[in-house]
Amino acid sequence: MAFVAKRCGVKFDPPSIVLVYEDGKTKKMRQRIMPVRNFSKCSDCSQAAERLKNNARHSAYLQGVSLQQLERLHAVLRDHLRGRTLEQSLASLRLDPDQDLNKLSDEELARRKAQMDVLFERNRKHKDDPDFVYNLEVEFPEVDDREAGSWDESEEGF
Amino acid sequence: MARGTTDISELDQEKYDTDERVKIICLGDSAVGKSKLMERFLMDGYRPEQLSTYALTLYKYTTTVDGKAVLVDFWDTAGQERFQSMHPSYYYKAHACIMVFDVQRKITYKNLANWYKELREYRPEIPCIVVANKIDADMKVTQRNFNFAKKQGLPLYYVSAADGTNVVKLFKDAIKLAMSYKQNSNDFMDEVMRELENFELEQNEESSDKEDNVSKEEKTHLQ
């Protein structure tokens, strides 16, 4: 591969995606700043990410960067345009196991679901996989002395 | 008659009284994987019916139980769970319930108590299976006690919609439970429902708590 992506980040002013990559020929580390154009606080992050990934000038460099990552970086840029701090923005990208997702807006919920889908896809067995079993049954015998860290607290009258 | 966007009471549910049809409902918080479980079970063979005005997805499935063809309607929430409560018609005439939580998010386990309470308000007797989903994320959770199921006397299944663990078993068992409930139903609520069909609704005013639920269900039905 001509360019090996190493790291990818953002710059707020002007809104840009920054890529650190290795040039396959010279083996030198380089940095590429890709301004994000026509992007406002109302823009659709997945469309913008796709646009950048398919951009004639940048696509060769972005081969090794997933669309999901570009989408997340655009979400950080957009959050900044909306006046959110970087901390708030990153927190919303992280999964908080105690957050009640029932209470989120459609867009926020979609963001969380997209994050969960990463793990889902990673662990997913497809029906074309050689070791795919449609009816996969696994027994988990009840252990008498289960380890601590239970989610049941005695004071809560479940 | 005012109709909200989530009013599903106008759907014809009388069909669930016929012998060869059962209705199984899915409950649980947003993003616990209810739809992914359905899709894993049905694979390519599924044809979901999006009833978006009702925030409802129906999955139809045909199978045989004891040599008899059975048509199963799985009801999935399509976002209706965000109102923290389901429309009464969602529960109406259901024969079994699959109640899902995400082993990665404690709050979805805690919320089971609310879902279960609402389920029992409308369907006090139907079989209910508790499902611990996403065990692929952390197999150690299968070593953990989830006392909610035990306390309520409900079966608990450890499953993964991603790698398929116990998904097919879960749905096949749910269908069996729904069928046997339907055949052997001595569900008090069903009996009372039949009795009430010829009664005036006013007579319910001085009734007990249980009958209050009945009148709630019947009102929905009559809307």
Sequence-distant (≥ 6) Cβ neighbours of residue B203 within 8 angstroms: none
Sort B84 into a burial class: Cβ within 10 Å, 0-12 / 13-18 / 19+.
Answer: middle
Number of domains composing chain A: 1
Residue B95 near residue B65 (C-beta atoms within 8 A):
no
Q: What is the pLDDT of residue A147?
A: 56
Residue A97 lies in a domain: yes
Sequence-distant (≥ 6) Cβ neighbours of residue A7 within 8 angstroms: A19, A20
Same domain assignment for residues B148 and B222: no
What is the phi-psi region of residue A131: left when phi exceeds 0, alpha when psi lies from -120 to 50, beta otherwise? alpha
Q: What is the pLDDT of residue A95?
A: 72
Same domain assignment for residues B138 and B196: no
Closest-CA distance of chain A to residue B85, Å: 10
Q: In B, which residues are within 8 Å of A132 by CB distance?
A: 164
Q: In this complex, do B106 and A151 lie within 8 Å of one another by their Cβ atoms?
A: yes
Q: What is the mean pLDDT of each run of 10 residues along chain B (223 residues)?
A: 51 75 95 94 79 82 88 90 85 96 93 96 95 93 89 96 97 95 72 56 49 43 39
Closest CA to B141 of B153, B155, B159: B159
Q: What is the pLDDT of residue B166?
A: 97
Same domain assignment for residues B98 and B143: yes
Q: For A137, which of B30, B161, B169 is closest by C-beta distance?
A: B169
Number of domains composing chain B: 2
Same domain assignment for residues B111 and B78: yes
Residue B6 lies in a domain: no
Mutation choice for A interface testing from B52, B77, B99, B136 by most A CBs within 10 A: B136
Residue B2 lies in a domain: no
- For A62-117, write each residue's pLDDT tens digit: 999 988 889 889 999 999 999 988 888 887 777 777 788 888 888 888 888 888 88
Q: Which residue of A has its CA nearest to B139?
A: A140
Residue B5 lies in a domain: no
Q: How confident is the model at residue A142 (pLDDT cuts 50, 70, 90)?
A: confident
- For A20-71, write each residue's pLDDT tens digit: 999 989 999 999 999 999 999 899 888 999 999 999 999 999 999 988 889 8
Residue B200 lies in a domain: yes
Same domain assignment for residues B209 and B168: no
Residue A133 lies in a domain: no
Same domain assignment for residues B150 and B170: yes
Q: What is the pLDDT of residue A11?
A: 95
Q: In this complex, do A143 and B143 lie within 8 Å of one another by their Cβ atoms?
A: yes
Q: In B, which residues are within 8 Å of A98 by CB distance?
A: 105-107
Closest CA to B112 of B175, B76, B75, B156: B156
DSSP label of A67 = H
Q: What is the pLDDT of residue B186?
A: 62
Q: In this complex, do B164 and A136 lie within 8 Å of one another by their Cβ atoms?
A: yes
Closest CA to B74 of B122, B125, B19, B35: B35
| Domain carrying residue A91 | 3-123
Q: What is the CATH number of the domain that holds B83?
A: 3.40.50.300
Share of chain A above pLDDT 70, in %: 92
Q: How far is CA B202 from CA A66, B122, B211, in A?
A: 63, 20, 12
| Domain carrying residue B91 | 14-185
Same domain assignment for residues B200 and B178: no
Same domain assignment for residues B127 and B213: no
Closest-CA distance of chain B to residue A92, Å: 16
Q: How confident is the model at residue A152 (pLDDT cuts 50, 70, 90)?
A: confident
Residue A41 lies in a domain: yes
Closest-CA distance of chain A to residue B35, Å: 12
